[in-house]
Amino acid sequence: MKKIIVILLFCLFARNAWATTKVTIQDYPLQIYPNQEFSVVFNIINDFISSDGYYVKGRIGSTSANLNKGETYNPTTNNWLSDTSSWDSFPIINFNNDTIATASAKLRVNQTVFIENNLLVIRINKNGKNYDSSSTALLVFEPTPTPTETISLSPTITPIVSFEPTEIPEPTPISYNNIFINEVMVNPESGSNEWVEIYNDNDFSVTLSNWYLDDIENAGSSPKSFSLEIPAKGYRVFNLSSSMFNNDADSVSLLDFNKNTKDSFEYQSSTKEKTFGRTTFDNDDFCLQEPSYEAINNGCLNPIPTVSLTTKPVPTPTLFFSPTTFSPPRPGNVQLINQLYTNDSQVLGAYTENKQIIKSTNNKLVNSFLIISFSYSLLTIVSVSLKIKLSYGKGKKNFSSFLHS
């Protein structure tokens, strides 16, 4: 009976010993030099391995009490971590529910490492508990410089040629045209800088060397010098290192290197964190807008109302006439035609259009009258001719009576 109890106790303790996590280093370079990156392959043996993951790091030092010379690479954050970094910054290794899992870590040693013999330990951390591998020997050495072949040459006399240093002249500043102030931030949020956006309306890039920004001429702040390279049809912003413009009434001026004014505009008030943006390059009109910063300006926050013109329909007169009765126009009709030409429309172009419509109608009416008159005359001539022919065939007497009739 005692033997059975001893066997059971031995199995129980043995099982608990086997269940202990064990880290075993499998493969690594035996010798390295400072800052050399290398990989270490290791196994984790544990009967409760899960997919929750382990934190892992490499520890290197000359003694077991000085394992702080190693650095571990985290591929997720692309960072090298020292031995004193927090565990949550180290790489995580996930495993399936296998009894033995294999993993690897990328390590290196820093410049303070002890040259020659050192120790290497892999430490994993799970649920706040650390598990170390057995220490293995690691040799750290100084890299040997590659010898270079020395070629011995016979001394030769080389003539000495002296050259005078040539100074490279600075580019001559150019006072370009078609350079405009496009957007200005005069009232930024607290802690931010004022800035001015400049637009190059040319078909070529320009370099503004030693140009200036100013507020009120001969007053206020001193002009601030700047240099910018602006592409064709492009925008560039100059950020002021200190405040220059007032939040209430002030002006913004762009000066060339000779301090000649190239563009300017004035404002009477401002709104915090809003900018003044140019509405067109045909004039100096600016409006309040949301900042666009080196891009096409946004819409105005206070747009100018537009006036829409509405034309009144002009009634077309309807004329009635009988095709059988023709009356020449009387003097009174002239007044009617003149009245048709009057127009009280206030829209540009309406009077001319109405006049052309009435004139076209009158031309058609006159043509109709001419056709009716001609037809009536032709009918009368034909009727008279027919009557003469009929009467001439009955004799002279009848013809005479016809003439007296």
Strands (DSSP E) contained in 13-147 are 22-27, 31-32, 38-45, 54-61, 70-74, 79-82, 92-93, 100-109, 116-126, 129-132, 136-140
- Comparing 40-44, 208-212, 313-317, 397-401, the range with the smallest average pLDDT is 397-401
Positive or negative CA dihedral for 358, 361, 365, 367?
positive
- Comparing 15-19, 77-81, 83-87, 286-290, the range with the smallest average pLDDT is 15-19
Judge whether residue 377 has pLDDT over 90.
no
pLDDT recorded at residue 194: 94
Q: Is 121 exposed, middle or buried (0-12, 13-18, 19+ CB in 10 A)?
A: buried
Of the candidates 181, 182, 235, 172, which has an alpha carbon nearest to the alpha carbon of residue 205? 235
pLDDT recorded at residue 97: 59
CA-CA distances (angstroms) from residue 235 to 198, 245, 263, 295? Answer: 6, 21, 15, 7
Match 């690691």 to its residue by tokens: 138
Q: Residues 38, 29: contact at Cβ < 8 Å?
A: yes
Q: What is the C-alpha separation between 41 and 23, in angstroms, rounded?
A: 11
Judge whether residue 11 has pLDDT over 80.
no
Q: Residues 72, 88: contact at Cβ < 8 Å?
A: no
Q: State mean pLDDT over 210-215.
A: 92
Sequence letter at residue 353: E
- pTM here is 0.37
Of the candidates 58, 46, 57, which has an alpha carbon nearest to the alpha carbon of residue 101? 46
Judge whether residue 253 has pLDDT over 70.
yes
Strands (DSSP E) contained in 141-177 are none
pLDDT recorded at residue 300: 93
**pLDDT tens track for 319-375:** 444 444 444 544 444 443 344 444 443 333 333 344 444 455 556 777 777 888 888
Q: Residues 132, 123: contact at Cβ < 8 Å?
A: yes
Sequence letter at residue 133: S
pLDDT recorded at residue 128: 83
pLDDT tier, 148 (very low <50, low <70, confident <90, very high otherwise): low
> Mean of the per-residue pLDDT values for the chain?
77
**Fold annotation for 17-140:** Immunoglobulin-like (2.60.40)
Q: What are phi and psi of 80, to 5 degrees?
A: -95, 130
Which residues belong to CATH 2.60.40.10 in the chain?
17-140
pLDDT tier, 215 (very low <50, low <70, confident <90, very high otherwise): confident
Q: Residues 149, 80: contact at Cβ < 8 Å?
A: no
Q: What is the C-alpha separation between 82 and 78, in angstroms, rounded?
A: 13
Judge whether residue 380 has pLDDT over 80.
yes
- Comparing 6-10, 112-116, 127-131, 262-266, the range with the smallest average pLDDT is 6-10
Q: What is the C-alpha separation between 250 and 208, in angstroms, rounded?
A: 24
Q: What is the C-alpha separation between 34 and 36, in angstroms, rounded?
A: 5
* pLDDT > 70 in the chain, percent: 67
Strands (DSSP E) contained in 260-330 are 261-267, 275-278, 286-289
Domain at 179-289, CATH class: mainly beta
pLDDT tier, 404 (very low <50, low <70, confident <90, very high otherwise): very low
Q: What is the C-alpha separation between 91 and 94, in angstroms, rounded?
A: 10
CA-CA distances (angstroms) from residue 239 to 17, 44, 188, 195? Answer: 69, 57, 11, 4
194, HSE (Cβ side, Cα atoms, 13 Å): 19
Strands (DSSP E) contained in 157-201 are 179-185, 195-200
Helices (H) and strands (E) in the chain, counts: 4, 20
